[in-house]
Chains A and B, each alone.
Chain A
Amino acid sequence: MAALKIKKGSTSHSAYNLRPNFSDVLERHTLAVRVDNEPGVLARVIGLFSGRGYNIESLTVAEVDHTGHQSRITIVTTGTPQVIEQIKAQLGRIVPVHEVHDLTVEGPAVERELGLFKVAGTGDKRVEAMRLADIFRANVVDTTLESFVFEITGAPEKIDAFADLMRPLGLQEVARTGVAALSRGAE
C-alpha cells in the first residue's frame, strides 16, 4: 500500500521467515500490522495476545487510510525469538489482517511516542521543571500559576527518562499514546 510505503508482499520475506535462529533470550520487537478497519478487529488482535499468553508492552491503533478503511496497529511485545515468530504467524492468519511487519528485524525504524505530563508545583521546583522540559524539547500546552501540562515526543526511553525527572518535581498525571513506528528509508 503506497500510503504506508510497505512493500507489497514483503510479509512472506519477513513475518513468515520460518528458519529463525532460536534462543531463549527475551527480545523486544515492534510489529506493524495493517488491518481492515472493521468492527472487532482490535478485539481479535488483543484477544490473540491474551488468549495465547503473549505480552503487550504498548499498542496503538488508528485508521491510516480513510478511503480503503485500513488501520495500522503498532504493537510492542517481548518474547523469545520462537514466541515472536509465533506471534507474527498467529497475527498473519487473522482474516482481516493484510500484512505483518517486524520493524525490529526489517532494518532500521523510527519509534515515537507522545506523552502528556501534568506537573504541579511552585518556586524552585516549578522553575526546574520548566528548565528540564526545555532540555527535553517538551512543549507547554497548558499552564496555571501552579501547574504545567507538558507535551513531549520521542522514543519511549526518552519519555521514561522525562517521567523519572518530573516525579520529584510534582508530577501529578501522565498520559502516553504508546509507540508509533515506521521503517527508515524510501521503501
Chain B
Amino acid sequence: MTRQMTGAKMVVQALRDQGVDTVFGYPGGAVLPIYDEIFQQNDIRHILVRHEQAAVHAAEGYARSTGKVGVALVTSGPGATNAVTGLTDALLDSIPIVVISGQVPTFMIGSDAFQEADTVGITRPCTKHNWLAKETDALSETLHQAFHVARSGRPGPVLIDIPKDTQFASGTYVAPNTARVDHYQPQLKGDITEITELVELMEKAKRPVFYTGGGVINSGVAASQLLRELVDATGFPITSTLMGLGAYPASGKSWLGMLGMHGLYEANMAMHDCDLMINVGARFDDRITGLISAFSPKSKKAHIDIDPSSINKVIRVDIPIVGDVAHVLEDLLKVWKARGRKTNQEGLQKWWGQINEWRAKDCLSFKQEGKVIKPQYALKRFEELSRGMDRYVTTEVGQHQMWAAQYLNFEDPHRWMTSGGLGTMGYGFPASVGVQVAHPEALVVNVAGEASWLMNMQEMGTAMQFGLPVKQFILNNERLGMVRQWQELLHGERYSHSWSESLPDFVKLAEAFGAKGIICSDPDDLDDAIMEMINYDGPVIFDCLVEKHENCFPMIPSGKPHNEMLLGEASTQGAIESGGAVLV
C-alpha cells in the first residue's frame, strides 16, 4: 500500500500502523505540523507532559509495563536536549522507545538557527540508532525501521530527527510490511552445542545458581514462564538483578531475593560459593560483581544473552550462548528433559542446607521501635497492605529504591519499573505517569525519596490534567540518603550538601495542584494513611516522614567481594579502603 501524504501525516500514519495508541510529548516550533496532524485525529492519544525528560521516562514506563514500544515526541533544540537523559536511561536499561524530534528546516541546518541543535550528533552515543530524515519519500520507511530496531534484539531507544520542511513536504507512504528492515536481524536461537554443554554441567552441578536479569523481562512473558518451569523442575536456587525482579515470583520456593551491592546475603553468598552460575539475560554489572578478581571464584559460568558484546565484557565465561532468552530456555528445557531430567540430588540437598544457613541470618531484619517510622517498615507495611492488588511500582533512585527492591515482592514481570543502569533521579514520577496511562485501572505507586521526587515534580500537572491516579509514596528523610550513607562510610561523616533544605510542604503542594496530600510521621498511623493513599481516586502525594539517618544494608562495600558483605551498622568501621573509595 502506497499513498501520497505530507511528512507530518506520515508520522501519525506510521504510529497508527505500528500499533501505537499513546504518545508522550511536548509541542514546539519544529514539530507544529505533526501536532497539527495529531489534532485532527482520535486514534492516538497524546499525553502532554510538563518537561521533555518526563516524556521519555513516561514512554519508558509505558514500554516496561506493557512490553510494547513507548513513543515520545519533542521539538528541536531544547526539546531534544531535554530528552537526552531519558534516552541514555533507556539505553542502559535496554528499554524499547522511539523518540521523534523536530528539527529546523534542512536548508537552515548548520546555520545556528533558532532552536537548532545537532540532535543526531548529540544523541548518537545515547541511542541504539538514530536518523536524520531529510527526504519525505524515505520518512515512512525510516519510521518503520526505527520501530524494528527499537524492539529487535537487545531493545533500546532510537530517535528520528525530522526537519520541519520534511514534515510539510509530500511524499510516498509505505506500510510497515513493505518497508525494508535491512540486515538488522539479531540471532534468536542459541547454539545447540553450547546449550547441551550447559545441560551436562547442570546435571552434575553440586552448587548451581540461576542469576537472571532484565533480559528475561525484555524477552517477553513466555521467557518468564519458561524460566519458572526450568527453575521449579531443576530445584536450583535463583537470584535476580534489580532489573529482573518479577521474572521469577518472589513467593517461589527457589527464590533467594535480589543480589548485588544491596542484595540479600543468601543471594550474594550463593553467587560467591556456587560451582555453576547460569546467567540468564543479565550483564555482570559492577553493582553485581563487586571485586571482579574475587567474583565467584569456584564456578563454571554460562551466559545467555542476545547481545554478543555483553559476553566476556566484564567476566570471562565458560559457556557463551548468544540468543533470545525465551528461545534458548525452550531449547535448554527440551535438551534437559530429553536427557532424562537429571540433577545432582545429593549435592543440591547439601547446597540448600548451606543456603538455609545463610538465610537464617535474616539479613533484612530491622527493629521498628519508638515513634519514628523506619523506611523499611513503611515499605513492609505497604507490601502487606497492597498484596494481591493489581499493582505496579516505579521508583526514583537511592536508598528508597534499594529498600523497595528488598522489601517489596514481585510475582510477575512488567510490574517493576526502576532506573537501574543510569540511576536517574527523577525517573520514577514520570515513569509512573506512563504506567498509569497504560493501565488506567491499576494501582500505580512511585516509591520515592523527597530529593529525587523534586527533580520532576512538575508532572503533577500531567497527572491532574489526564486524571491519572498515580500515588507518590515519598519516604522523606530530608536527606540524599544514599549520598549521606557514602559520606558517612567514606568521607569522615562530612555531609557535604546531602540534605534537603527548604523542602515544600508536600500536602500543600498536592493541594496546590488539586491533588490529595497525606502526611504521616507516626508508625501507629501508617497503615491507615497507606490505605487512604491506595483508596483515594486520584493522584496522591504521600509525605512519609522517616528516620533520617537510616543506612541501607546489606551492603557490599566498593572494591570488596560478595562474601565480605556488611550486614549492619556494627560492621561498617573501616569497611571501605582507599582503593574502593574511587569506585562509585
Contacts and interface: CB of A to CB of B under 8 A. Distances in A.
Interface of A: 12, 16, 18-20, 22, 36, 39-40, 43-44, 47, 51, 82, 85-86, 89-90, 92-96, 98
A150 B296 CA distance: 59
Contacts of A92: 308-309
A82 B187 CA distance: 22
B120 A19 contact: no
Interface string B437-481: 000000000000000000000000000000000000000000000
Nearest to B152: A95
A18 B312 contact: yes
A19 B308 CA distance: 12
A82 B309 contact: no
Contacts of B132: 39-40
A174 B322 CA distance: 45
A131 to B, nearest CB: 50
B128 A95 contact: yes
Interface in B289-341: 307-309, 311-313, 316, 320, 322
Contacts of B187: 12
Given A40-B120, A98-B183, A18 B311 contact: yes
B536 interface: no
Contacts of B184: 95
Given A44-B124, A95-B128, A82 B312 contact: yes
Of listed A47, A90, A93, A98, residue having the most chain B CB within 10 A? A93
A96 B307 CA distance: 16
Contacts of B153: 93
Contacts of B322: 16, 18
B125 A51 contact: yes
Contacts of A82: 312, 316
5 contacts: A18-B308, A40-B132, A43-B124, A47-B125, A95-B184
B431 interface: no
B121 interface: yes
A17 to B, nearest CB: 10
B312 A86 contact: yes
B311 A89 contact: yes
Contacts of B183: 98
A82 B121 CA distance: 29
B503 to A, nearest CB: 38
A95 B320 contact: no
Nearest to B321: A18
Nearest to A85: B312
B128 to A, nearest CB: 7
Interface residues of B, number: 23
Given A43-B121, A95-B129, A18 B309 contact: no
A95 B308 contact: no
B34 interface: no
Interface in B39-89: none
Contacts of A93: 153-154, 307-309
Contacts of B312: 18, 20, 22, 82, 85-86
Interface in B93-152: 120-121, 124-125, 128-129, 132, 149
Contacts of A36: 182
A90 B316 CA distance: 16
A65 to B, nearest CB: 14
A16 B149 contact: no
B124 A40 contact: yes
B98 to A, nearest CB: 14
A95 B320 CA distance: 22
Nearest to B303: A18
A8 B183 CA distance: 12
A89 B124 contact: no
Given A95-B129, A95-B184, A90 B309 contact: yes
Of listed A85, A90, A95, A96, residue having the most chain B CB within 10 A? A95
Contacts of A51: 125
B129 A89 contact: no
Contacts of A18: 308, 311-312, 320, 322
Contacts of B124: 40, 43-44, 47
A18 B128 CA distance: 22
Of listed B132, B183, B312, residue having the most chain A CB within 10 A? B312
Contacts of A22: 312, 316
Given A16-B322, A95-B129, A98-B183, A89 B308 contact: yes
Contacts of A94: 129
B106 to A, nearest CB: 12
Contacts of A95: 128-129, 149, 182, 184
Nearest to A38: B131
B309 A19 contact: no
Nearest to B317: A18
A36 B183 CA distance: 10
B37 to A, nearest CB: 26
B308 A16 contact: yes
A89 B149 contact: no
A16 B311 CA distance: 10
Nearest first, the 4 closest Cβ-Cβ pairs linking A and B are: A89-B309, A18-B320, A95-B129, A89-B308
Contacts of B154: 93
Nearest to A51: B125
A169 to B, nearest CB: 44
Interface in B149-163: 149, 153-154
B317 to A, nearest CB: 8
A71 to B, nearest CB: 15
Given A82-B312, A95-B129, A95-B182, 18 more contacts: A16-B322, A18-B311, A18-B322, A43-B121, A44-B124, A47-B124, A86-B313, A89-B308, A89-B311, A92-B308, A92-B309, A93-B153, A93-B154, A93-B308, A93-B309, A94-B129, A95-B149, A96-B129
A13 to B, nearest CB: 12
A12 B529 CA distance: 58
Of listed B124, B128, B309, B313, residue having the most chain A CB within 10 A? B309
B286 to A, nearest CB: 15
A18 B304 CA distance: 12
Contacts of A19: 320
